Amino acid sequence: MKDQNNIYDGESTEDKWNRGLDLFTESVLKPDPKLRQCARNQHCFDELMSIRESILEHLKTLRQQ
């Protein structure tokens, strides 16, 4: 993820919401090797990935028009 230039502050709350949602989605998509290794050590890697997929599907429903 690369930080963008400042955004004009007079934009709509929907635009701000959706940009925040995009950043959060990127944080869920970004691989976290330490977390994934912990899940492997605790024998719950498949469950972690399943939860991740469920959250990504839910995030799609939060976008504002």
Domain range for 49: 13-60
Give dist(CA 53, CA 17) in Å, integer: 21
Comparing 2 with 22, the larger pLDDT belongs to 22
Residue 29 resides in a domain: yes
3-state SS string for the chain: CCCCCCCCCCCCHHHHHHHHHHHHHHHHHCCCHHHHHHHHHCCCHHHHHHHHHHHHHHHHCCCCC
pTM: 0.78
Q: Residue 57: its pLDDT value, please? A: 97
One-letter amino acid for residue 31 of the chain: P
Residue 7 resides in a domain: no
Residue 1 resides in a domain: no
Residue 24 resides in a domain: yes
Tens digits of per-residue pLDDT, 18-44?
999 999 999 999 999 999 999 999 999
Q: How many domains does the chain have?
A: 1
